[in-house]
Amino acid sequence: MLPICTPFLRGRLKKVIAIYPGSFDPPTNGHLDLIERGSKIFDELIVAILRNPEKAPLFGLDERKNMLEAMTEGLRNVCVDTFDGLMVDYALKVKANVVLRGIRAISDYEYELQMALMNRKLQPELETVFLMPAEQYSYLSSRLVQEVAQLGGSVAGLVPPLVEQRLREKLDPAIKLQPPIELKKRKK
């Protein structure tokens, strides 16, 4: 028989609503991996894109929202939103009790710890939960994807095909991404 610690609470436990905040410029397969993992753990997962007037992003807010919505179309408990100001204020507004963040390598830890503790100081009720993406995405970042794409390298397998397409549209005609392998073969 399965152990049940608090049988009287079963079925009426508090819903766990998580936000996954970030810049997502552009969203990568690492982000998607984390969203999929989060959607299995939390009742609701809100992917929250930061509107940061101080940064000039490659993709506008609406473009990033549109890409993330398409990427998460099949995940019924996931939605995409935008926010500005303090993340803890946004969390309060959407009644989230958890912040989801990814940790890829030990190098992420210091910054993430600082941010999690500052957020805890600001809003003690809000818990930060860290998840690790699949190993194949442990070196992946939006900044590197942007750089590789801008210099004409292939980002296939690092971002969803839709994002790859949007990158190509954004950077073409100045800089072209490498054509897909099938195209290269056909040209020979």
List 31, 65, 101, 166, catalytic entry: 31
Closest to ligand PNS by CB, 22 vs 26, is 22
Q: Cβ closer to ligand PNS: 19 or 167?
A: 19
Please say if 104 is a catalytic residue.
yes
Q: Collapsing DSSP states into helix, strand and coil, what is residue 131?
A: strand
> Measured from the CB atom, is 23 or 150 closer to ligand PNS?
23
The residue ranges that bind ligand PNS (CB under 6 A) are: 21-23, 50, 86-87, 115, 118-119
Residue closer to ligand PNS (CB basis): 85 or 152: 85
Residue pair 82/51 in contact by the 8 Å Cβ criterion: yes
Least Å distance, CB 10 to ligand PNS, is 34
Catalytic residue among 64, 65, 142, 166: 142
Nearest residue by C-beta to ligand PNS? 22
Q: How far is the CB of 91 from ligand PNS (least distance, A)?
A: 9
Instruction: From the candidates 64, 65, 104, 166, give the one annotated as an active-site residue.
Output: 104
Q: Which long-range CB contacts under 8 A does 41-44 form with residues at least 24 apart? A: 41/16, 41/129, 42/16, 42/17, 42/18, 42/77, 42/98, 42/100, 43/15, 43/16, 43/17, 43/77, 44/15, 44/16, 44/17, 44/18, 44/77, 44/78, 44/79
CB of 35 to ligand PNS, least distance (A): 13
Q: How far is CA 110 from the centre of its chain?
A: 19
Catalytic residues, by residue number, are 31, 55, 104, 142
